Chain A
Amino acid sequence: MIYYAASILLILIGMYAVLVKKNIIKIVIGLSIIDSGVHLLFIAIGYVKDATAPIYSRPGLEAGQMVDPVPQALVLTAIVIGLAVTAVALSLVIRLYDHHKTLNINRIRKLKW
């Protein structure tokens, strides 16, 4: 249960960062935190207490004694995707800083209405 709570907390912290912080780097960090929260949640739902890794490491290991392998596979993919997004985001931040000479999101709003 604590995993759930922690992950939801992480998501909320991330959201807070994204919605409130004015610095775009902090916003990107916030996005990453949200991602981490979701990933953690994923792992948490696949987690079975006292179970082992989903590998047939020894004979007689039953399905119930292993954690669910699917969320772990999914999380791996999701982490990769999250990484890619963060990379793109940071490159955009660099670009924005080049052009605007500021990292304050309130001042990067030429496109509006």
Chain B
Amino acid sequence: MSLSPVQFIAVPLFAAFLIPLIGKASKETVKLVPGIVLLYLSYVALNLFPRGLERPIVEHIAGFNPPFGITLYYGPLAAFLTTLVTLIGFVIWLYSYKFIIREPFEKYYMLFMLLITGSTGIILTGDIFNMFVFLEITAIAAYSLTAFLRDKDGAEAAFKYLLIGSFSSTFVLLAILLIYMQTGTLNLADIALKMADVPITMKIFILILFITGLGIEAEIFPLNGWAPDAYSQAPSPVGAVFGGIVVKATIYALMRIVYLMFNFHSVLHFFVIMGVITMLIAEMSAMRQHQIKRMLAFSSIGQMGLVIIAFGLGTEPGVRAALFQMFNHALIKTLLFFSAGYLVFHSGSKHISALDGLGRDKPLTSFFFAFGALAIIGLPPFAGFWSKLYILLSVADAHLVTVVVLILISAVIEIVYYLRVVSRLYFKRETATDVRRTPLSGLAAMGILAVVILFVGLYPNTILDWLTPAARELMNTSEYIRTGLHLNSGLLSINF
């Protein structure tokens, strides 16, 4: 079987439906399936990566040529993001292996596989309606996962998520509808080509619908009311999935659409402003949280604000920095959610005040949390340092010194609330010790992440070398259109 980007979508989807079946036979085998799938996908990702960097791979589903059939576009950007998703997915599986032991865990894995399917789908697809479908797959899986623990708060969080998520899908669907109405096509490249003829009024209207719709999932303020609840009430690995995979895919979708269809600067500056507001409010709220996972959720929102700022600059260094930050944030926030998961598990409470002295009792878990905290604050030699630095530099290149200052202020706030937790972990005497041990799979997952974070921090070149073509791809719309539509084969001459 030759390797193809289709497998990123097909394999996990297939696995998702296979899992309940296998579950009938053997519960234990079910746990292994996602691991195998994701390992395989990582293998695919690493193999396809060089090819994607060299020349974008454009796959046509069902044999239609673009712009008719559904296409998959596997360029450097998609290559980068799918690799990220599969890797993070694998680590999350590893962590879940011993963390999600409550029945019905086969459903958990099924939904998890659906989430992976949805995310890779969003990233890979070259068709806007297809993107909507994948968004919905992701969303439905996410609603269910939020309520996975079947407790009071989980249901509440999931319902809020669903309520707002439905708005999101409505708006996105409306936008797609308008696009179809105006251009008569659903292929992204084709839309981009024809968008030029669309009247500006319509364009703006579509854009607003997209921003609102996708902004909900991308956690732009004030559309992010669902996020803290969902992150904090879902099981910890799910929080990591949200922060590490789902949001990243959505931001990708938003940015792809904006760059492809509405590439003008006033819009981009709007993103800078929204990013700054999102970041500041999220960080300020995070500072006053009493629950660790809720704090992490707000911190995630803040980081997304940062990413949005960088995307909004509309320069190649800016986009690259944003991608870098996405990468780092995926790793680091996953690590934080993992360790927070076990900290909550051991302390038996979600409250930060219950964490006193856990550092002595559970040194490794706490160490990973401290590690993640230092990394996300952006201290060297961890990965977070470089991406923050790049973002700042690109912001300054755009002569937005105020934004630089605001980012740094939010970083100071970040320091305060993260280090408060870290110092509690290590330096307060605990009252009781928990005899349960942190399982090896969880520690291994955190260990992998920590090593990668440190490695990237020490050798940022490894990631940056990939990011440059990825950023260029996002910026270079005409190239996307050309390869996406096989223009050299002259198909564009067909007028719709």
Direct contact between the two chains A and B in their complex (CB within 8 A):
yes
Q: Give the complex CA separation of A59 and B162 in angstroms.
A: 47
State whether A85 touches B140 (Cβ < 8 A). yes
Partner of B180, one of A31, A70, A111: A70
Nearest neighbor of B285 in chain A, beta-carbon distance: A113
Nearest neighbor of B174 in chain A, beta-carbon distance: A38
State whether B232 touches A41 (Cβ < 8 A). no
State whether A31 touches B163 (Cβ < 8 A). yes
State whether A96 touches B166 (Cβ < 8 A). no
B-contact 0/1 string along A89-113, CB 8 Å cutoff: 1001101100110000000111101
Q: Give the complex CA separation of A94 and B36 in angstroms.
A: 35
State whether A18 touches B163 (Cβ < 8 A). yes
**Residue A84 is within 8 A (CB to CB) of chain B in the complex:** yes
A-contact 0/1 string along B379-404, CB 8 Å cutoff: 00000000000000000000000000
**Residue B306 is within 8 A (CB to CB) of chain A in the complex:** no
- B178 → chain A, closest Cβ, in Å? 9
**Residue A61 is within 8 A (CB to CB) of chain B in the complex:** no
A-B contact count (CB 8 A): 89
Please classify how large the interface on chain A is, using the bins under 10, 10 to 19, 20 to 34, 35 or more. 20 to 34
**Residue A54 is within 8 A (CB to CB) of chain B in the complex:** no
Partner of B156, one of A77, A81, A96: A96
Q: Give the complex CA separation of A13 and B425 in angstroms.
A: 51
- A64 → chain B, closest Cβ, in Å? 13
Return chain A residues, CB-CB under 8 Å to B140: 81, 84-85, 88
Known: A70-B186, A77-B133. A38 touches B173 (CB 8 A): yes
Known: A74-B129, A78-B173, A111-B229. A27 touches B153 (CB 8 A): no
State whether A111 touches B133 (Cβ < 8 A). no
Interface of A is mostly: helix
Known: A41-B174, A71-B180. A108 touches B156 (CB 8 A): yes
Return chain A residues, CB-CB under 8 Å to B420: none
Return chain B residues, CB-CB under 8 Å to A108: 156, 159
**Residue A24 is within 8 A (CB to CB) of chain B in the complex:** yes
Return chain B residues, CB-CB under 8 Å to A111: 153, 156-157, 160, 228-229, 232-233, 294
Please classify how large the interface on chain B is, using the bins under 10, 10 to 19, 20 to 34, 35 or more. 35 or more
**Residue A53 is within 8 A (CB to CB) of chain B in the complex:** no
Return chain A residues, CB-CB under 8 Å to B47: none
- Within residues 55 to 95 of chain A, which ones have a CB less than 8 A from any CB in chain B? 70-71, 74, 77-78, 81, 84-85, 88-89, 92-93, 95
**Residue B411 is within 8 A (CB to CB) of chain A in the complex:** no
Q: Give the complex CA separation of A55 and B163 in angstroms.
A: 38
State whether B159 touches A93 (Cβ < 8 A). yes
Q: Give the complex CA separation of A100 and B174 in angstroms.
A: 34
Return chain A residues, CB-CB under 8 Å to B129: 74, 77
State whether A92 touches B155 (Cβ < 8 A). yes
A-contact 0/1 string along B112-142, CB 8 Å cutoff: 0000000000000000010001001001100
**Residue B147 is within 8 A (CB to CB) of chain A in the complex:** yes
Q: By CB atoms of chain A within 10 A, which of B151, B155, B157, B158 has the most?
A: B155
Nearest neighbor of A98 in chain B, beta-carbon distance: B155
Q: Give the complex CA separation of A71 and B184 in angstroms.
A: 10
Nearest neighbor of B151 in chain A, beta-carbon distance: A99
Q: By CB atoms of chain A within 10 A, which of B144, B173, B181, B232 has the most?
A: B173
Q: By CB atoms of chain B within 10 A, which of A11, A88, A111 has the most?
A: A111
State whether A85 touches B232 (Cβ < 8 A). no
A-contact 0/1 string along B163-205, CB 8 Å cutoff: 1011101100110110011000010000000000000000000
Q: Give the complex CA separation of A59 and B282 in angstroms.
A: 62
- B147 → chain A, closest Cβ, in Å? 6
State whether A85 touches B166 (Cβ < 8 A). yes
Return chain B residues, CB-CB under 8 Å to A89: 159, 162, 166
State whether A34 touches B232 (Cβ < 8 A). no
Known: A41-B177, A45-B177. A100 touches B152 (CB 8 A): yes
Q: Give the complex CA separation of A31 and B150 in angstroms.
A: 23
Nearest neighbor of A92 in chain B, beta-carbon distance: B159
Known: A74-B129, A92-B162, A95-B147. A110 touches B152 (CB 8 A): yes
Return chain A residues, CB-CB under 8 Å to B153: 110-111
Return chain B residues, CB-CB under 8 Å to A95: 147, 150, 155
**Residue B338 is within 8 A (CB to CB) of chain A in the complex:** no
Q: Give the complex CA separation of A89 and B156 in angstroms.
A: 11
Return chain B residues, CB-CB under 8 Å to A78: 173
Known: A38-B177, A110-B152, A111-B233. A81 touches B228 (CB 8 A): no
Nearest neighbor of A97 in chain B, beta-carbon distance: B155
Which B residues have a C-beta under 8 Å from some C-beta of A? 129, 133, 136, 139-140, 143-144, 147, 150-153, 155-160, 162-163, 165-167, 169-170, 173-174, 176-177, 180-181, 186, 228-229, 232-233, 285, 288, 294
Q: What are 24 sample pairs from A and B whose C-beta atoms fall under 8 A apart?
A: A11-B170, A18-B167, A27-B163, A38-B174, A38-B177, A41-B177, A42-B173, A42-B177, A71-B177, A74-B180, A78-B173, A81-B133, A81-B136, A81-B169, A85-B162, A85-B166, A85-B169, A92-B147, A92-B162, A100-B152, A108-B159, A110-B152, A110-B156, A111-B229
Nearest 4 A/B pairs, CB to CB: A99-B152, A95-B155, A111-B229, A81-B136
